[in-house]
Amino acid sequence: MTSFETFAEVCKKIKGISSSLEMTTVVASFLNEVDDNELDIATRFIMGSVFPVWSEKELGVGTGLLYAAIAKTSSLPVRRIEELVKETGDVGTAAEKAITNRKANFNFFSEEKLSILDVFSRFQKIAGLEGKGSQDAKIKNLQYLFGASKPVETVYLARLAVEELRIGVGEGILRNAIAEAFNVPAELVERGYMIANDFGLVAYTAKKEGAPGLLELSVVTGRPLKLMLAQVGDGIDEALAEMSSVAVEWKFDGARVQIHKEGNKITLYSRRLENVTSSLPDIVKSVRTCVKADTAILDGEAVALGKDKRPMAFQEILRRFRRKYDVTATALEIPLSLNLFDLLYLNGESLIDIPLFERRKKLEEICDKSIVAGQTITESAAQIDVIYKEALAAGHEGVMLKNPRSLYTPGKRGKNWLKLKPIMDTLDLVVVGGEWGEGRRTSFIGSYLLACRDPYTDRLHSIGRVATGITDEKLEELTAVFKDLVLLETGVHVEFEPKIVFEVAFEEIQKSQNYDSGYALRFPRLVNVRSDKSLYDADTIEKVEQLYSKQKGK
């Protein structure tokens, strides 16, 4: 049985390492150390999660609850805990400071030794608590755990409770660590993970059955597989040159759903493979009435169509996907329709290794036409262009050009699915703030807060954050530049003198309450640091408004 202290010491060790190879080795030896029945907990804990993302279980511990538990354990007021978090910028260190000092006075718990299984089963208990009195009961359970933990355990217990471990172990490191620990090729671990979406199962299989076992991992209903993703295409002619004939579909402006049907049981997963079944009863109903198959896994896009039959804003769909209460009322307000474009499993058999055109044939056989996305197979650039223009005219994003002979490759962004959409402009925005990074990036500013200008008042209005498109080397360089511009630092948040302009690309401008410009950027990416531009050359709020209204002819 592995103690929670061992886990916490491993986390502490990893936190001090910057080389990912070294991190991998430490994780590998930890995986070698834990018992077989602890592998699934160990693989999740080390990445900072408690339950699989696709399970319906949620820990439901927010910072408020955590602070209350730390306050109760330490007999300090919540206000003091909040101060400690501000001072240290980390709930773990704050918990340690609060609880360790206090525990010098009473050590009746010190005989107890927590195991990782103990911690997990307490977390399970916490996740199962609902209704009246559940907050207090959750706090009591956390208090028990804190009471039984040593200082190093306190740090990682607090972080795990809010699922923010911040030690920098991501999917890549864990994949390589499983390969190293159990002496199997990393590609097979990767393949297993894409199909099973469960590192615990992959690690267990690697340990017990080696490479042959990993090869046998297959698609099953009830466990979502990673989604196949699309690359940005260079253009219609280039796609035709690559694929000769192309399967063209609208690129719907909606949200991805993976649907599992097991007899009467229908389960829906979001793009992040979270279980969203209870939020989307209308989609469940469509599947129940329009899919004729005993077991199936379907892939598609849910779209919210307004009264004008045009897609509603992306945020409206997100409201549906996140809704836990008043689901029926929200469903009436934002009705969803389904556009299925793939079939990954049918009546006991995985279909991911047969070509798209065959999967499509079966999809059409089992589904009512009303829920299947239109598809045209063509070799004609002119025909593709017509479909592209129709999609845009209907308010959708563009088209997807798919290779009809391609297999379904879970989790891969490859050349077999190309997306074609109008190119958006870039914006030149002033950097007004930042946030220290996590994991490997703790010593760098990991994300930058951007703002546009109001030329009349000279005020700056925030519009989003950018963290993508920046290499580690660049981050280091930028951190050095911004060091001289710090105005204020509170925990991980930093405010900068507005001097540096970033050229930022993005996929879309959205209305948003989160930033004071009233807009936000979807998928922002740093293109260039415009050292040739000053604050006064940055783009204005008017330009943002213009671009917003240009989108999809709004």
CB of 48 to ligand AMP, least distance (A): 25
CB of 227 to ligand AMP, least distance (A): 6
Return the number of the residue (420 or 466) whose C-beta is nearest ligand AMP.
Answer: 420
Distance of CA 53 to the CA centre of its chain: 9
CB of 150 to ligand AMP, least distance (A): 45
Residues within window 297-316 making contact with ligand AMP, judged by CB under 6 A: 301
Residues within window 271-290 making contact with ligand AMP, judged by CB under 6 A: none
Tell me which stretch binds ligand AMP (CB under 6 A): 45-53, 98-106, 249-257, 481-489: 249-257
Q: Which two tokens stand for residue 525?
A: 């990416």
Residue with tokens 């996740």: 127
163: helix, strand or coil:
coil
144: helix, strand or coil:
helix
Among 156, 252, 408, 515, binds ligand AMP (CB under 6 A): 252
Among 40, 96, 190, 249, binds ligand AMP (CB under 6 A): 249
238: helix, strand or coil:
helix
- Sheet with 246-251: list strands edge to edge: 229-232, 413-420, 398-402, 246-251, 376-378
CB of 445 to ligand AMP, least distance (A): 27
Question: What residues act catalytically?
Answer: 251
Return the number of the residue (71 or 247) whose C-beta is nearest ligand AMP.
Answer: 247
Residues in binding contact with ligand AMP, number by CB under 6 A:
11
Among 13, 57, 226, 256, binds ligand AMP (CB under 6 A): 256
Site string for ligand AMP, 136-175 (x = CB under 6 A): ----------------------------------------
Return the number of the residue (182 or 269) whose C-beta is nearest ligand AMP.
Answer: 269
Q: Which residues on adjacent β-strands are paired with residue 460?
A: 453
Q: What are phi and psi of 445, to 5 degrees?
A: -75, 115
Using the rule CB under 6 A, is 251 a contact of ligand AMP? yes
The C-alpha atoms of residue 337 and residue 287 are separated, in whole angstroms, by: 11
Return the number of the residue (177 or 230) whose C-beta is nearest ligand AMP.
Answer: 230
In eight-state DSSP terms, residue 537 is G
Distance of CA 83 to the CA centre of its chain: 30
The C-alpha atoms of residue 515 and residue 218 are separated, in whole angstroms, by: 44
Distance of CA 499 to the CA centre of its chain: 32
Distance of CA 128 to the CA centre of its chain: 24
Return the number of the residue (432 or 505) whose C-beta is nearest ligand AMP.
Answer: 505
CB of 417 to ligand AMP, least distance (A): 6
CB of 279 to ligand AMP, least distance (A): 17
The dihedral through the CA atoms of 93, 96, 99, 105 has a sign that is negative
Tell me which stretch binds ligand AMP (CB under 6 A): 5-13, 16-24, 33-41, 245-253: 245-253
Q: What are phi and psi of 201, to 5 degrees?
A: -65, -40
Residues within window 332-391 making contact with ligand AMP, judged by CB under 6 A: 341, 373
Count of CB atoms situated within 10 Å of the CB of 321: 19
Return the number of the residue (401 or 500) whose C-beta is nearest ligand AMP.
Answer: 401
Count of CB atoms situated within 10 Å of the CB of 150: 20
CB of 487 to ligand AMP, least distance (A): 36
Return the number of the residue (368 or 476) whose C-beta is nearest ligand AMP.
Answer: 368
The C-alpha atoms of residue 509 and residue 507 are separated, in whole angstroms, by: 7
The C-alpha atoms of residue 428 and residue 209 are separated, in whole angstroms, by: 54
Among 419, 530, 533, 552, binds ligand AMP (CB under 6 A): 419
The C-alpha atoms of residue 331 and residue 294 are separated, in whole angstroms, by: 27
Residues that bind ligand AMP (CB under 6 A): 229-230, 249, 251-252, 256, 301, 341, 373, 400, 419
